[in-house]
């Protein structure tokens, strides 16, 4: 094993372990197009990171380099300390990949698909058998063991792909839009699986998605735009950074309500659907707002920024606070 190439510069976390992935100053070009422009992201082992961004933001290009399928034009990419250009095989062995193209052999049973993958990764027969049993159990696929893949729904096939990606015990699972095309039930099942893999096996997960509710499962969210990181942090931190929690007052006489709110020391702003009173802890100010108002047919609602607001603000596509 080429341990020398496991460099000491790799970001290390409290445990002293190297980062599960550590990308520094990554640049990816296709001819004149620069798809990734100096991206730096990393994750300690056992955490889930979501990659968000509009079409063409560079998500697949970043995942392509992390998966060792593409070479970086500049920067370094390390998987558990192994640099992908210097030690691609060591890096590859620590990776489980679930990309958008379906790569299962449809005519073969679930078990045979897993078996060939295990053997491809050089697993011994007994180990492969035990590991297949474990993965089928963990992903609730035991009943499907002998069924040809072509008879499975899209959601079940995706779970087989996840089981297969984890057979050789990779520490990092990379998924490119894993729930694309799945119905809400199948999406939930995939998410339950990924959370269980993190919690029970300590697997690090990195995935791209266009679904905001899926991004919220992640410990860390990275938003890319035009090949650069434009936001990074937990969902709570990203939402908190918007400072747009507010009480929205809807009534027939908006002008009177605005006058009364100003007289009580508030600074109401018009927004679609009513007047917004921005404050950091809106729940604690509702009673004050009600006391300030003397207008008929009043509706009050408390609104906190959503991941969608964060995304729209970061992607710069529309005004962030359209309700
Ligand atoms: N093989 C390629 N040849 C030329 N340009 C490419 C190639 N692959 C991607 N690009 C360009 O690189 C940029 C980033 O593309 P990429 O597929 O990484 O974005 P993405 O965020 O994954 O988009 P999506 O959400 O649509 O999957 C885009 O401008 C895209 O057109």
Q: What is the ipTM of this complex?
A: 0.97
Question: 30 CB less than 6 Å from ligand 1?
Answer: yes
- Indicate which residue's Cα is closest to atom 7 of ligand 1: 30
Q: Collapse the DSSP code of 38 into the 3-class scheme (helix H, G, I; strand E, B; otherwise coil) and give the result.
A: strand
Give me the average pLDDT of each 10-residue run along the chain (323 residues): 41 68 97 96 96 94 94 96 93 92 90 94 93 90 95 91 92 92 84 89 94 92 96 91 87 93 94 89 92 90 90 67 38
Query: Domains, the chain, ranges and CATH?
Result: 3-94+170-238 (3.40.50.300), 245-304 (3.30.70)
**How far apart are alpha carbons 82 and 20 in whole angstroms?**
10
At 189, is the secondary structure helix, strand, or coil? helix
- Closest by Cα among 54, 70, 62 to 36: 62
Distance of alpha carbon 262 from alpha carbon 268, whole angstroms: 7
DSSP state of 37: E
215 CA to centre of ligand 1 in angstroms: 20
pLDDT at 202: 92
Q: Does the Cβ of 69 fall within 6 Å of ligand 1?
A: no
Ligand 1 near 60 CB (within 6 A): yes
| pTM score | 0.83
What Å distances lie between residue 152 and 20, 108, 156, CA to CA? 32, 11, 6
pLDDT of res. 323: 38
β partners of residue 224: 229
Distance 223 CA to ligand 1 centre (A): 15
Can you tell me which atom of ligand 1 is nearest the CA of 227?
14
Is ligand 1 within 6 A of the CB of residue 56? yes
Among protein residues, the one whose CA lies closest to atom 3 of ligand 1 = 30
């Amino acid at each position: 094993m080429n341990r020398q190439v496991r460099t000491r510069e790799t970001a290390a976390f409290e445990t002293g372990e190297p980062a599960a992935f550590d990308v520094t100053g990554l640049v990816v070009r296709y001819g004149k197009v620069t798809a990734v422009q100096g991206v730096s992201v990393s994750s300690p082992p056992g955490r889930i990171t979501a990659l968000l961004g509009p079409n063409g933001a560079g998500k697949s290009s970043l995942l392509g380099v992390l998966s060792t399928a593409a070479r970086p034009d500049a920067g370094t990419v390390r998987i558990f300390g192994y640099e992908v250009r210097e030690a691609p095989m060591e890096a590859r062995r620590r990776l489980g990949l679930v990309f958008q193209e379906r790569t299962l052999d449809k005519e073969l049973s679930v078990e045979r698909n897993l078996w060939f993958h295990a053997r491809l990764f050089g697993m011994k027969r007994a180990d492969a058998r035990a590991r297949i049993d474990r993965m089928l159990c963990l992903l609730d696929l035991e009943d499907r063991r002998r069924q040809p893949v072509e008879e499975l729904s899209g959601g079940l096939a995706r779970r087989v792909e996840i089981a297969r990606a984890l057979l050789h015990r990779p520490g990092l699972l990379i998924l490119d839009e894993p729930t694309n095309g799945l119905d809400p039930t199948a999406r939930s099942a995939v998410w339950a699986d990924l959370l269980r893999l993190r919690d029970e096996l300590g697997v690090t997960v990195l995935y791209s998605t266009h679904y905001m509710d899926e991004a919220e499962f992640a410990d860390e969210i990275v938003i890319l735009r035009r090949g650069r990181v434009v936001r990074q942090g937990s969902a709570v931190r990203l939402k908190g950074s918007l400072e747009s929690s507010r009480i929205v007052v809807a009534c027939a006489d908006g002008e009177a309500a605005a006058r009364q709110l100003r007289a009580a020391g508030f600074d109401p702003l018009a927004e679609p659907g009513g007047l917004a009173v921005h404050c950091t802890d809106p729940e604690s100010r509702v009673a004050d707002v009600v006391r300030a108002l003397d207008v008929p047919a009043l509706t009050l609602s408390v609104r906190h920024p959503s991941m969608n607001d964060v995304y729209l603000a970061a992607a710069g596509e529309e005004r962030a606070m359209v309700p």
